[in-house]
Chains A and B, each alone.
Chain A
Amino acid sequence: MNGRTFRPLLLILAAVLLVQACQKEPEPPRWDLNVTAPLVKTSLTINDLLPDSILSTDADGNVSIVFTSELFALSLDTILNAPDTSFQYAYAVPVPGPVPVQPGVTFNSTDNVTHFDLQDLSLSELIVRSGQVDIKVTSRMNGNILGNFSLPGATLNGVPFAAVQALPPGTPANPSVTQTSRALDGYVFDMTGPNHNAVNTLATHLSYSSDPNGPAFNVTNQDSLLSKVSYHDIIAEYATGSFGTRNIQVDSTSSGLGLFDNITGSLSLDQVTAQLQVHNGIGVDAQAHIHFIRSVNSTTGITVALIAPITAGPVNLDRALDLNGSFQSALNTFDLNAGNSNIKPFVENLPSQIEYAMDVTINPLGDISNGHDFFYNSSKLIADLAIDIPLRLSATGLTLQKTLAVDLPGSSDQHAVQNGTLHLFADNGFPFSAVLDLDIVDAQGNILSQLSSGQAIASGTLGTDGIVSSSIATRLDMIVSPEQIDLFHTGGRLHINAVFNTADQPQHVQLRSNYSLDLQLTTDANYIVNGDR
């Protein structure tokens, strides 16, 4: 036997290796399993159904919703909007000249005032939170000049504002231009002017002198100096004075409530109280004229207008207290209850939005503070509607709807879960039943397939005292076909429609913090190992 004997073997080996090397990535093995297993379990109490932040529980475990919604807020920019302001100062010698100017000589000094146009506001003091002053000097004098711009009425830690600029020589034909910007953050403006008897007025000082280290020069009446001072982006930290009598219009607007989103049906509450709480952080008296407050259910289209004393006439609002560096808001409250308003039907409408319109008059009685109106940068006029709903209720067909994206592993072509049956085991300790409809819907909400229709979770058993004495177990089965699994993989979403009815209707039943609904979901499913790969 020689080497030729093995040649066919080597050829076969080489061919096998070649075929193996050319094979594409091997697909994983797959086989189907019938799996029976628990999936998820949960226990729902009222704290799980509603956010803790709006729930209140008394000593007996009775639960109330205490919910506050901000109706509106007027902030500083509603009161004061300081416009950008510019002033110009020009100087020229009053004689034909030439007039010699020796080094180190002050040849012009001017005290002046700046008036700010603040409309109805008459400010005596303004503390700047942020802002800037730009100083631009155009020199047509043929010498080195020092320009000194100062604001005697604007101080920072007691030091007046001052800016000195070195102005290079210029000519009428070829003037020199010098510009500087300075921040005014934290400066206190005395707005009473140099004589402390004005408002919205800031004392200014401008002087020019020849450079003590420069040469002497001559000026004529053709030579000039032009200063332009611009205040811009002034935002106040604090202001005081007389704010005048002004009317601020709050156009019809709405505020989302969020409490009853996705809920429809009939809800009867035993009792509802509410309180309109107006926090006035501005140092002015005010009077609000509430034109309307409406409960708007955008699902049903039903609107209930609040009928109450606060909507029938003006509401007077006390002013905030100035604590010299901070302030204390004035809280003005107005109670709404079944005796003085229709607040119960207002809430039972399950509003998705609160609509309102109003106007607010500042200083309706004039300058009764004798020029001591004030505001701070954080001052606001805020109105909240606080609603207290004891959860003693009767619900009929109260419907909760929710659509969930179901993210099953795999793709429409390859997925592990093929079909099966879902078992929902409910142990209900709440005094209401729930009828469940589960559908697969498309992105527009159109029903593609029905998973479960009309299956009910029974209510807990009520005792003679109206309290749930024992929970009731219910089992719901939902068959999920391969076609329905495919729908989930092609964008189908799970739509849950739960209709709640309280037991012992039409009596109101009390919800308690210890009530719970225990749910467990199990499955009998056909599952393909590696089916999603």
Chain B
Amino acid sequence: MATGKCWWCCLLLLIIAVNAQGQEATSSATDTLWNGTEHRLTFEAEGGYDSNALYNDLVLGIYRGGYISRDVRQRSMDAISANGRGGYELGGRISYAWGDSLFGHADWQPRISASYRMAEGLNFTKDDYHLTFFGNSDLVNQTAHLGPSRHEQVRYSTIGFGIQNKGSGTWLELALVSGHTLNAVDVRTADLYTAPDGRYLELQLDGDYWASESSGPSLGSSNGLGAAVNFQWNKNICVLGRPAVFGLGVRDLGAVVWNSNSVRVSSDTTIHFEGLVVNDILDINNLSLDRTSLQDSLGLGFRTGTFLRVLPARFAASLKFGHALGRADLGQLYTYELTVEQHYLPGYVPYARLDRNFEVCSRLTAGVGVSYGGFGGIRVAAGLDAQVGLLRLSLQTTNAIGLVSEQAMGRSLMLGIEAAW
């Protein structure tokens, strides 16, 4: 938590410093941003997961299937200090802005976008991990602390309508959100005691669980509706006497009302379990063991109904400074870029990244960087940016080592395509 506060303080200081210098530099740098093209089509895709504890061999083992050895599981457990964090984000967004004016304003044009996103975040205790990957036999006559822990897995798509400034690339959108699936757990306390010989299990539980309707097999089936705001604000400023661009962006700031078939459990109770009660031990084959009856017997019965759940919004601030690289009409690059992000997902801590970009040739830029935060720790970033005619293509990873090593943590890849004419 202290680390998170530190990053936010740095961000605040940076914004104040940049604004102090930017007051005088704005007018001179405005036309170096997007050069005012009338059509702009952008496609962004990203996929990646990260963790501060789970090595790639474990995560990929879960993804690929098959037996996961004890050594692999043990190595990740050894990496958990107090709490583990992890998550993934996978999605894409396409947007299009067009026209030479909007309602008589020559600098503005209409904009539409569509996106699809899957995201999962979790933080967990070491005992959570132990129970999941090794069972509770090692914890007999002990209390396993399974909380506080949180998990959220959500899948949704959006359609947005808004306006965009041709010169600066600043834009604002209101989006309709279709919620597809949701699974969320917020465990404030979960202390599990295993009695010797398994005579009983006792769980002190204080937590909530939310889930969308489980039906709807198709990828796009909607189980909830909502709204969100997206915006990007870019400002030309001057840093250390040179033009720079400061940007603030928010994606998916909104909420979804999940439909009436959604379920939730809210429990603050102690569960004492001594086994399933049977009437005839000699007729155990007739024992009914389904999820519903077990939940009911444990007092964890579902409640169905609508509820509102905030989307995993993303907040970002960036500062591009140094020498300008590449073409201005496809988004100006600079030799340095500092980015700070926070995503509203469990396990995600403030993320900061500093990139150094190099011009390989007139149309190709390469970059390397270092980052810290998000779901993971310190990471090395790398990227390529190419401008070909009307197109700009970028390929980046925030975790260059993880991309090639199973002994690292996390793996990510981002693809961007932008066309302007």
Q: Taking the complex as formed, is A407 at the interface, i.e. its CB lies under 8 A from any CB of chain B?
A: yes
Do the beta carbons of B137 and A34 come within 8 Å of each other?
Answer: yes
Do the beta carbons of B194 and A36 come within 8 Å of each other?
Answer: yes
Do the beta carbons of B274 and A36 come within 8 Å of each other?
Answer: no
Q: Taking the complex as formed, is B67 at the interface, i.e. its CB lies under 8 A from any CB of chain A?
A: yes
Given A29-B62, A523-B198, A39:B276 Cβ within 8 A:
yes
Q: Taking the complex as formed, is B421 at the interface, i.e. its CB lies under 8 A from any CB of chain A?
A: no
What chain A residues lie within 8 Å of B65 (beta carbons)? Answer: 26-30
In the complex, A109 Cα to B290 Cα: how many Å?
80
What chain A residues lie within 8 Å of B281 (beta carbons)? Answer: 40, 42, 44, 519
Contact residues, A22-54 vs B (CB, 8 A): 26-42, 44, 48
Q: Taking the complex as formed, is B388 at the interface, i.e. its CB lies under 8 A from any CB of chain A?
A: yes
| Cross-chain contact of B280 among A5, A35, A48 (Cβ < 8 A) | A48
- Select the stretch in B12-20, B128-136, B153-161 that faces chain A: B128-136
Closest to B137 in A: A34
| Cross-chain contact of B134 among A5, A34, A475, A496 (Cβ < 8 A) | A34
In the complex, A127 Cα to B238 Cα: how many Å?
117
| Cross-chain contact of B287 among A6, A27, A31, A40 (Cβ < 8 A) | A40
In the complex, A524 Cα to B386 Cα: how many Å?
60
Q: Taking the complex as formed, is B73 at the interface, i.e. its CB lies under 8 A from any CB of chain A?
A: yes
Do the beta carbons of A42 and B198 come within 8 Å of each other?
Answer: no
Do the beta carbons of B275 and A520 come within 8 Å of each other?
Answer: yes
| Cross-chain contact of A522 among B64, B198, B277, B287 (Cβ < 8 A) | B198
Q: Taking the complex as formed, is A423 at the interface, i.e. its CB lies under 8 A from any CB of chain B?
A: yes
Q: How far is the CB of B418 from chain A (nearest CB, A)?
A: 15
Given A38-B198, A521-B275, A30:B66 Cβ within 8 A:
yes
In the complex, A36 Cα to B363 Cα: how many Å?
63
Closest to B61 in A: A29
Contact residues, B192-235 vs A (CB, 8 A): 194, 197-201
Max chain B CB contacts within 10 Å: which of A27, A29, A39, A404? A29
Given A34-B137, A404-B282, A520-B199, A39:B68 Cβ within 8 A:
no
In the complex, A39 Cα to B198 Cα: how many Å?
9
Q: Taking the complex as formed, is A312 at the interface, i.e. its CB lies under 8 A from any CB of chain B?
A: no
In the complex, A527 Cα to B135 Cα: how many Å?
9
Do the beta carbons of B275 and A36 come within 8 Å of each other?
Answer: no
Given A1-B386, A404-B284, A407-B285, A522:B197 Cβ within 8 A:
yes
Do the beta carbons of A26 and B137 come within 8 Å of each other?
Answer: no
Max chain A CB contacts within 10 Å: which of B66, B133, B386? B66
Q: How far is the CB of A12 from chain B (nearest CB, A)?
A: 12
Given A404-B284, A405-B285, A423-B198, A37:B364 Cβ within 8 A:
no
What chain A residues lie within 8 Å of B282 (beta carbons)? Answer: 402, 404, 496
Contact residues, A505-533 vs B (CB, 8 A): 519-524, 527
| Cross-chain contact of B68 among A29, A37, A402, A405 (Cβ < 8 A) | A29
Do the beta carbons of A42 and B199 come within 8 Å of each other?
Answer: no
Total number of A residues with any Cβ neighbor in B under 8 Å:
40
Closest to A524 in B: B137
Contact with A along B254-291 (1 / 0, CB 8 A): 00000000000000000001111111111011010000
| Cross-chain contact of B135 among A33, A404, A423, A522 (Cβ < 8 A) | A33
Q: How far is the CB of A411 from chain B (nearest CB, A)?
A: 17
What chain B residues lie within 8 Å of A327 (beta carbons)? Answer: none
Q: Taking the complex as formed, is A425 at the interface, i.e. its CB lies under 8 A from any CB of chain B?
A: yes
Q: Taking the complex as formed, is B138 at the interface, i.e. its CB lies under 8 A from any CB of chain A?
A: yes
Q: Taking the complex as formed, is B404 at the interface, i.e. its CB lies under 8 A from any CB of chain A?
A: no
Q: Taking the complex as formed, is A3 at the interface, i.e. its CB lies under 8 A from any CB of chain B?
A: yes
Q: Taking the complex as formed, is B140 at the interface, i.e. its CB lies under 8 A from any CB of chain A?
A: yes
In the complex, A520 Cα to B364 Cα: how many Å?
71
Q: Taking the complex as formed, is A324 at the interface, i.e. its CB lies under 8 A from any CB of chain B?
A: no
Do the beta carbons of A42 and B73 come within 8 Å of each other?
Answer: no
What chain A residues lie within 8 Å of B414 (beta carbons)? Answer: none
In the complex, A522 Cα to B273 Cα: how many Å?
11
Q: How far is the CB of A179 from chain B (nearest CB, A)?
A: 58
Do the beta carbons of A6 and B393 come within 8 Å of each other?
Answer: yes
Contact with B along A457-500 (1 / 0, CB 8 A): 00000000000000000010000000000000000000010000
Do the beta carbons of B135 and A38 come within 8 Å of each other?
Answer: no
Total number of B residues with any Cβ neighbor in A under 8 Å:
42
Do the beta carbons of A34 and B62 come within 8 Å of each other?
Answer: no
Q: How far is the CB of B202 from chain A (nearest CB, A)?
A: 11
Q: How far is the CB of B92 from chain A (nearest CB, A)?
A: 15
Q: Taking the complex as formed, is B361 at the interface, i.e. its CB lies under 8 A from any CB of chain A?
A: yes
Q: Taking the complex as formed, is A2 at the interface, i.e. its CB lies under 8 A from any CB of chain B?
A: yes
In the complex, A165 Cα to B7 Cα: how many Å?
111
What chain A residues lie within 8 Å of B136 (beta carbons)? Answer: 34-37
In the complex, A27 Cα to B194 Cα: how many Å?
32
In the complex, A335 Cα to B285 Cα: how many Å?
42
What chain A residues lie within 8 Å of B68 (beta carbons)? Answer: 29-31
What chain A residues lie within 8 Å of B133 (beta carbons)? Answer: 31, 33
Q: How far is the CB of A463 from chain B (nearest CB, A)?
A: 27
What chain A residues lie within 8 Å of B67 (beta carbons)? Answer: 30-31
In the complex, A404 Cα to B273 Cα: how many Å?
26
In the complex, A3 Cα to B197 Cα: how many Å?
68
Do the beta carbons of A404 and B199 come within 8 Å of each other?
Answer: no
In the complex, A38 Cα to B64 Cα: how many Å?
33
In the complex, A30 Cα to B70 Cα: how many Å?
11
Contact residues, B39-69 vs A (CB, 8 A): 61-68
In the complex, A522 Cα to B199 Cα: how many Å?
6
What chain B residues lie within 8 Å of A26 (beta carbons)? Answer: 64-65
In the complex, A496 Cα to B194 Cα: how many Å?
29
Q: How far is the CB of B413 from chain A (nearest CB, A)?
A: 11
Contact with B along A1-18 (1 / 0, CB 8 A): 111011000000000000
What chain A residues lie within 8 Å of B364 (beta carbons)? Answer: 1, 5
What chain B residues lie within 8 Å of A42 (beta carbons)? Answer: 277-281
Closest to B387 in A: A1
Given A1-B361, A3-B388, A520-B199, A41:B284 Cβ within 8 A:
no
What chain A residues lie within 8 Å of B363 (beta carbons)? Answer: 1
Q: How far is the CB of B329 from chain A (nearest CB, A)?
A: 17
Given A38-B200, A41-B274, A42-B278, A33:B361 Cβ within 8 A:
no
Contact residues, A99-155 vs B (CB, 8 A): none
Q: How far is the CB of A270 from chain B (nearest CB, A)?
A: 27
Contact with B along A294-327 (1 / 0, CB 8 A): 0000000000000000000000000000000000
What chain B residues lie within 8 Å of A37 (beta carbons)? Answer: 136, 194, 198, 201
Do the beta carbons of A29 and B66 come within 8 Å of each other?
Answer: yes
What chain B residues lie within 8 Å of A521 (beta carbons)? Answer: 275
Do the beta carbons of B275 and A38 come within 8 Å of each other?
Answer: yes
What chain B residues lie within 8 Å of A38 (beta carbons)? Answer: 198-201, 273-275
Q: How far is the CB of A95 from chain B (nearest CB, A)?
A: 86
| Cross-chain contact of B386 among A5, A32, A40 (Cβ < 8 A) | A5
Do the beta carbons of A31 and B73 come within 8 Å of each other?
Answer: yes
Max chain B CB contacts within 10 Å: which of A40, A48, A404, A406? A40
In the complex, A39 Cα to B393 Cα: how many Å?
59
Q: How far is the CB of A17 from chain B (nearest CB, A)?
A: 14
What chain B residues lie within 8 Å of A33 (beta carbons)? Answer: 133-135
Do the beta carbons of B137 and A40 come within 8 Å of each other?
Answer: no
What chain A residues lie within 8 Å of B63 (beta carbons)? Answer: 29
| Cross-chain contact of B197 among A29, A41, A423, A496 (Cβ < 8 A) | A423
Do the beta carbons of B277 and A41 come within 8 Å of each other?
Answer: yes
What chain A residues lie within 8 Å of B279 (beta carbons)? Answer: 42, 48
In the complex, A313 Cα to B194 Cα: how many Å?
70
What chain A residues lie within 8 Å of B275 (beta carbons)? Answer: 38-41, 520-522
In the complex, A41 Cα to B199 Cα: how many Å?
10
Q: How far is the CB of A23 from chain B (nearest CB, A)?
A: 10
Contact with B along A391-411 (1 / 0, CB 8 A): 000000000001011110000
3 A-B pairs with least C-beta separation: A33-B135, A34-B137, A38-B275
- Interchain residue pairs with CB less than 8 A apart (9): A1-B361, A6-B386, A31-B133, A33-B135, A34-B137, A34-B138, A36-B140, A37-B198, A402-B282
Given contacts A29-B63, A37-B201, 10 further A-B contacts (CB under 8 A): A5-B364, A5-B388, A28-B65, A29-B62, A33-B135, A34-B134, A34-B136, A41-B277, A496-B282, A520-B199
